Amino acid sequence: MPWPSMSVSQKNGSSTQGDRGAPNPFVGAAFLMSCARITQLPADGLPEIAFAGRSNAGKSSAMNALCGQKQLARVSKTPGRTQLINMFNVPNGRFVDLPGYGFAKVPKDVSQAWGSLIGDYLQGRANLRAIVQIMDIRHPLTDFDVQMLEWAAHRGLRCLVLLTKADKLRFGAAKTALLQVRKALAGLPNVEAQLFSSTSKQGLDDARNTLASCLSATIAGTP
C-alpha cells in the first residue's frame, strides 16, 4: 500500500519554517525495552515502524524530535554506540530504533553482529510495517542506505526517507539534494523522501502526519 498522499509542503521539500505547533500524534511515547536477539521481541501484533540509518546521521535526534522529547532516544557523540534494538511505545504501535550501521571504527565482529541483528529483524519481523530511513543530507545514498531501501522494497514495506540536518545547507542546495535523491529512488515502490531538521523542526509536522497515518491505517485493518 502506498504512503498517504503528500501535502503541498512535502511535494515542495517541506516548509522552511519548522514546526508550526500542530498537535503531536506521538505524545506520551515511552521506552519499552532493549533487545540483543530477535527472540526477545514482544510476541504481539502491534505494528512497528523501524528507524534505520548510518551511524551519526541523526537517527536518535530525529526520533526525539518526532516524539517531542529530548532524551527519549539516547544521542551519543560517539557514532556506533548503539548496539541493541531499542523499542518505544507510541500511540497505535511502536517505534523501533535499529543499530546504526557503517561506522568504520566499530570492531568487525561487532559490526557483523549488528548486521545480523538488523537483517533478522527486517526479514522475520511480521509486525514491521514501514521503515524510516535516516540520511544526512550532505552524504545521502551510501551503499548501506541503498541496500536498506532495496531490502524494504523486497519485503514490500513502505519507506520514508528523512534527509536530516537540512538546516546545514542553504535552501537551494537542500532542495537540489532532495530532488536528486527523489530521482535516484524513482524506481523503488512506496518510497517518499523529504527534508528534515531536528534543530529547526523543518519537515517535522509532515513526517509526524505521514507516520501517524501509517500506524492508524494498520490498526484500522489496512494491510
User: In order of start, what are the domains of the chain with their CATH numbers?
Assistant: 8-219 (3.40.50.300)
Task: Say what the pLDDT of residue 126 is.
Answer: 94
Read off the pTM.
Answer: 0.86
d(CA 211, CA 24): 11
Q: What is the pLDDT of residue 204?
A: 98
Report which secondary-structure segment, H or E, holds 9: helix 8-11
Q: What is the rounded distance in angstroms from the CA atom of residue 73 to the CA atom of residue 52?
A: 13
| DSSP for residue 101 | B
Q: Which residues, given as ranges, of the chain have pLDDT below 50?
A: 7-9, 15-18, 77-81, 103-107, 109-111
Radius of gyration of the chain (CA): 16
Beta carbons of 80 and 59 less than 8 angstroms apart: no
Q: According to the model, what pLDDT value does residue 106 have?
A: 45
The cell numbers describing 219, all together, are 490498526
The pLDDT assigned to 111 comes to 47
**Three cell numbers, residue 64:** 526525539
What pLDDT score does 223 carry?
54
Give the separation between CA 109 and CA 141, rounded to whole angstroms.
25
Please count the other Cβ atoms lying within 10 Å of the Cβ belonging to residue 30: 10
First to last CA, the chain: 7
pLDDT at 117: 85
Biggest CA pair distance of the chain: 46
Q: Assign residue 10 a region (left: φ > 0; alpha: ψ between -120 and 50; beta: otherwise).
A: alpha
Residue 162 to residue 134: CA distance in whole angstroms? 5
Rounded to whole angstroms, how far apart are CA atoms 223 and 211? 15
The Cα 53–Cα 137 span in angstroms is: 12
DSSP category for residue 191: E
